[in-house]
Structure 1
Amino acid sequence: MLIISEQEARALVSVEDAIAAVEQCFAAMAAQEARNYPVVREGVGYQDAVFGVKAGCDSSAPILGLKAGGYWPHNMGKGLSNHQSSTLLFDADTGRACALVSANYLTGVRTGAASAIATKHLSRPDSSVLGIIGAGAQSQYQLRATLAVRAIRRVHAWNRSAENLTAFGRIVEQLGLEFVPESGAQAVAAHADILITVTPSQKALVEKSWVRPGTHINAMGADTRGKQELDPALVATAALFVDETAQAISIGECQHAYDAGLITDRSFRGSIGAVIEGLCDGRRTADEITLFDGTGVALQDLAVADLAVRAAAKRGLGSNVDY
């Protein structure tokens, strides 16, 4: 078995590599060559932690495996990140476990990649102002991935923590962009061509009336029952795209509009994979508000883990152990 450490994973997979790999897996999902299995996500009952398992198989690759991990809210005081996860890959021909890959960085970069893919296919090509609501650890992945697909010149951002917002602003400015810290989410939405929400919020942060015509929204924070970042009325009136419909209506941003009867299974224009494959329309007009509900699917995790394994083999990295 090949074991890839967190440090090695960071060195092996770039933002650009992740975007290409995740885009390919979304296309395979749309072509029904890849499938995510039902998600397990539960409160642990210890250390206020939430633990989950996501699994799936891309038969076109082939890639088979699972990612296990979750959220430990007290880790920062222990010198660890709150999000902890690992990916286990299996040989699709034999079922034998073949690689264990540290997935903290890879989870961040694959989430940024999914958002960037939606931005690439759904936002207006001339979009140049990025708005980010939430300036935690995921915000820099979102920023760097967006820069890989759009010529951003200015970033507006808001976060409840002034310290986090300031730290994020330094990253923005180091990348040569103008940074505008805002005092609230409404001001961010008012300026954004591309709006990304990436928070653990459990109530709406963005109202329908705040969003300008032509805005593209990536709702990336909701991945658990109860999480919410957007006004359900906004969700109901936007052109809706998902990574996977079943997850969007059960644990994603769309769960609230769906539960309220504001949208149905027929309200979705399609998956982002279907847009990539040309199976459904993306943005139809310059004034349309498009919304991608990114819940995070197993195949994203497997795609970047497999990418790390293949790169490690070429570069002689990772540790091989008898298993």
Structure 2
Amino acid sequence: MIIVPEREIAALMTREAAYDAVETVFAAMAAEDAYNFPVVREAIGHEDALYGFKGGFDRAGKVLGLKAGGYWPNNLERRGIINHQSTVFLFDPDTGRAHAMVGGNLLTALRTAAASSVSINHLARADARVIGMVGAGHQATFQLRAALAQRPFEKVIGWNLHPEMLPNLEKVADEAGLPFEAVDLPGLTEADVIVTITSSFAPSLMAAHVAPGTHLACMGTDTKGKQEVEAALLARATVFTDEVAQSVAIGEAQHAVAQGLIAEGDVTPIGAVINGTHPGRRSDEEITLFDGTGVGLQDLAVAARVVELAVEAGVAVEVDF
């Protein structure tokens, strides 16, 4: 069995490799060559932790496995380690034998950012020049870096509930040589692309804050009750997602469906656009919205790629298991 420790991931996994892995598995999902297993997520009654499993099988890529992990809210304060902790386990689909164990913390951030950047590449207007960010936490920096690679953006604007965190976004903009401007929520109408990445249970971004022709990547809602954008915005938009069933159950679409503003059939897998079976954006005035709920196959795809890179680089740890 191959082990790729968390400490090796940053030097191995590039944003480009993450993008390619996620785009490929989204296409496989839409072609019904890959599927996710039911998600298990539990409050374990210890340390206020949430723990769970996401898994799946990619028949096209021959990748089988699961990600185990969750959220320990006391880690950073009490132990000096990040609150999100996860590990990916891969198995040989031909034999069932354990193939690899891979650190999943950084990979989770990279695969989430890759998913939104895939949506930007396939759905944003070609002339998009201003990117708006809602959220300025740790994940937001990964999101912004990945997004900036998809269009020749000329400006970054951002809003955060706690404005003292906005320098996180400004730093990334500075790295890219772009101006950054802090805005109030109505100011986001200037944006051609908006990425939302918060853990909110009440909407911040309203339909009135979004101009015609905007592409949105809503990446923070992955749990029943969470909500980043007004449900009416989904009724104005053409809605895409990683997995339809998960989008309407625990994603941003849950609220619009519950209010009868859209139906499950109004949500399209992004893989259909990648495969060419859906045209994607139809006009420069259309609002497109990607509901990124996060699926196990994303984790498996990036983990399988990092195993290949670790073997090529000679840093994979092999054990007789």
User: Taking structure 1 as the reference length, what is the TM-score of the superposition?
Assistant: 0.96
* Corresponding position of 1:80: 81
Q: Which 10-residue stretch deviates more, 96-105 or 164-173? A: 164-173
Deviation sequence 1:105-130 (CA, Å, 0-9, x none): 10101111000000001000110111
Report the 3-state secondary structure (helix = DSSP H, G, I; strand = E; otherwise coil) of the residue aligned with 1:246: helix
2:155 matched to 1:154? yes
Q: Which residue of 2 aligns with 1:114?
A: 115
Q: Which runs of 5+ in 1 are unaligned?
A: none
Q: Partners in 2 of 1:51 and 1:150 — Cα distance?
A: 37
Q: Distance in 1 between matches of 2:138 and 2:97?
A: 34
Contact 2:137 2:168 in 1 (8 A): no
Matches within 5 A, 1:93-112: 93-112=94-113
What residue is the counterpart of 2:56 in the other structure?
A: 56
- Aligned to 2:307, which of 287, 303, 309? 309
After TM superposition, give the deviation of residue 52 of structure 1 in Å.
Answer: 1.9
Secondary structure of 1:214 counterpart: coil
For each residue in 1:204-262, what CA deviation from the matched residue of structure 2 results, as whole angstroms up to 9, or x when unmatched? 11111111000000010000111100101111221011110000011100011111121
- Secondary structure of the residue aligned to 1:116 is helix
Deviation at 1:185, TM superposition (A): 2.8
- 2:193 matched residue in structure 1: 194
Residue type at the aligned position of 2:67: K
For structure 2, the 5+ residue unaligned runs are: none
Say which SS state the counterpart of residue 256 (structure 1) adopts: helix
| Inter-partner Cα distance in structure 2 for 1:79 and 1:173 | 28
State the identity as a percent. Answer: 49
Deviation at 1:46, TM superposition (A): 2.2
Matches within 5 A, 1:1-323: 1-77=1-77, 78-182=79-183, 184-187=184-187, 189-268=188-267, 270-323=268-321
Q: Structure 1 stretches (4+) deviating beyond 3 angstroms?
A: none
Deviation sequence 1:292-314 (CA, Å, 0-9, x none): 00001111100100001011111
CA distance in 2 between partners of 1:45 and 1:129 (Å): 44
Tell me the TM-score normalised to structure 2 length.
0.97
Deviation for aligned residue 1:322: 1.9
In 2: Cα distance, 1:111 partner to 1:186 partner: 26
Which amino acid is the alignment partner of residue 125 of structure 1?
A
For 2:71, the aligned partner's letter is Y
Deviations 1:91-115 (A, max 9, x none): 1111011111001110101111000
Measured in 2, the distance between the counterparts of 1:179 and 1:76 equals 29
Q: Note the alpha carbon deviations across 1:251-304, whole angstroms, 9 max, x for none.
A: 100011111121112212x21100000111200010000000000111110010
- SS of residue paired to 2:194: strand
Aligned residues, how many?
A: 320
Partner SS, residue 180 of structure 1? strand
2: distance between equivalents of 1:108 and 1:186?
A: 28
Q: In 1, distance between residues paired with 2:138 and 2:151?
A: 21
Shift in Å, 1:80? 1.3
Rounded Cα–Cα distance in structure 1 between residues aligned with 2:168 and 2:197: 16
Whether the 8 Å CA contact 2:40–2:52 is kept in 1: the answer is yes
Q: Deviations over 1:54-113 (max 9, x none)?
A: 000111110000011112222221211121111000011110111110011101011110
**Higher alpha-carbon deviation: 48-57 or 285-294:** 48-57
1:16 and 1:148 in contact (8 A); partners too: no
AA aligned opposite 1:140: T
Farther off after superposition, 125-134 or 163-172 = 163-172
The residue matched to 2:128 in structure 1 has which SS? coil
Quote the Cα distance in structure 2 between the aligned partners of 1:243 and 1:277: 13
Q: Distance in 2 between matches of 1:277 and 1:130?
A: 26
- Which letter maps to 1:136? G
CA contact (8 A) 1:157 1:180 kept: yes
SS at match of 1:213: coil
Cα distance in 1 for residues equivalent to 2:43 and 2:112: 22
The 1-side partners of 2:132 and 2:141 are apart by 12
Retained in 1: the 8 A contact 2:15–2:146? Answer: yes
RMSD (Å) for aligned C-alpha atoms = 1.1
Mark the CA change 1:76 to 1:168 in structure 2 (over 3 Å): closer, same or farther: farther
CA displacement 1:151-190 (0-9 Å, x = unmatched): 11211111223332123312221221111122x3332x22
CA–CA distance in structure 1, aligned partners of residues 20 and 53 of structure 2: 24
Return the alpha-carbon distance in structure 2 between the equivalents of residues 163 and 71 of structure 1.
24
